[in-house]
Amino acid sequence: MRYRSKAPLVCADDLREAARRRMPRFAFDFIDGAAGSEAGLARNRAAFEAELLRPRALVNTDGDLKTGRRFLGQEWSVPFGISPIGLAGIAWPGIDLVLAGAAERNGAPYIASTPATASLEDLKRTAAVSAWFQLYVGRSQEIVDDLIDRAAAAGYEVLVVTVDVPRPGKRRRDLRNGFALPLKIGPRMIADLMTHPKWSLEVLRKGAPRFANLERYAPPGAGARSLAELMAGQSSGRLDWTLLAQLRERWQGRLVVKGIMAPEDAMRAREEGVDAVIVSNHGGRQLDSAPATLHALKQIREAVGPDYSLAVDGGIRTGEDILKSLFAGADFTFLGRPFLYAVAARGTNGANDLFDMLRAELVNAMAQVGRCEL
């Protein structure tokens, strides 16, 4: 199913606006919103908008420009991938498998989330080369250990440990909309659903989002409330350097830590045997006063030196933003919300459309600054 508009959708911002029109407000706000006043979300974008690229003249950039990038031992067709996104199915039913398949087709990494709406095993089968697994270190060490073992058994080679959720962020839009798990369907939400029939019918056809990776850990016959409580247990403040070292010992593949914003934390991660760091403030969804990820990236690159693997997410919306990130010190970049907007706006074709948009924007920017390869 494709979203049809009188005006063509030509960039991530267009996809966001189309998704906003198509989705119920509570669902769109869950994806689009951030912590507090959302100043942190705006700060991420403002940093990229303020960052400039200097055009270069009289450089022969005729022919095919090379957008490939090597990261964590793999060659990727583009220097960007899909960030882990919890409860992505709120944007569009079945979206996790759609995104995994799109990443595989486009030669990009896809980070499967612990609270995905498809199992880590199914996601790995869909994206045999591209899929990495993201882990929340929740309150139950037994569940953490089993998720790690399942990821290894499924063939994952990269484990991404998210470290920036010691507590859930306070997201005002969700509170104002009464959005909580399990969903409480009241008159306002019913009206919201009725005025967005395409989304609502698709949910009825395919079923409401579920926590596919966590269902096996719930008691037999557990209802939605028990599963919601189990998901809430994935936010825990107990993760520290000692526990990270234990995870490093248990996991035999490449280990990535996501959510580092301080240079001293990045340096400690390298000392602890972490293979790469993703500089991230969780898309502004945790701490409203956190600095922009682009600014943190520059500080962290200066601290760790040129040889340590760094990626960044948060606020990236265009191919130019991707190039700015690479020039600022990133080896790789990731995007989250734009891929949700894309599928919500255009259905199953949306993710491929966004890959095409970003790739074309990146190639154009490379030519403007006189770069034939990255």
Give me the catalytic one of 16, 22, 124, 282: 282
Residue 84 counted as an annotated binding residue = yes
Residue 178 counted as an annotated binding residue = no
Residue 337 counted as an annotated binding residue = yes
Residue 217 counted as an annotated binding residue = no
Q: How many Cα atoms within 13 Å fall on the side-chain side of residue 47? A: 23
Asked whether 324 and 2 are in contact (CB, 8 A), the reply is no
Q: Indicate if the alpha-carbon torsion angle 158, 122, 334, 172 is positive or negative.
A: negative
Using DSSP, state whether 1 is helix, strand or coil.
coil
Which of 242, 217, 243 is closest to 230 using CA atoms?
Answer: 217
Q: Is 282 a catalytic residue?
A: yes
State the DSSP H helix or E strand holding residue 216, giving kind and residue range, or none if neither. Answer: none
Q: Domain residue spans in the chain?
A: 12-368
Residue 86 counted as an annotated binding residue = yes
Could you read off the pLDDT of 39-98 as tens digits, one per residue? 999 999 999 999 999 999 999 999 999 999 999 999 999 999 999 999 999 999 999 999
Residue 317 counted as an annotated binding residue = yes
- Count helices and strands (H / E) in the chain: 16, 10
pTM summary value: 0.95
**From CA 326, how far away is CA 337, in angstroms rounded?**
20
Residue 282 counted as an annotated binding residue = yes
Which segments of the chain have a pLDDT < 70?
1-6, 223-224
Q: 226-229 long-range CB contacts below 8 Å, 24 or more apart?
A: 227/182, 228/180, 228/181, 228/182
Residue 265 counted as an annotated binding residue = no
Single-letter residue type at 205: R
What number does CATH give the domain 12-368?
3.20.20.70
Which of 317, 318, 278, 332 is closest to 79 using CA atoms?
Answer: 332
Asked whether 84 and 113 are in contact (CB, 8 A), the reply is yes
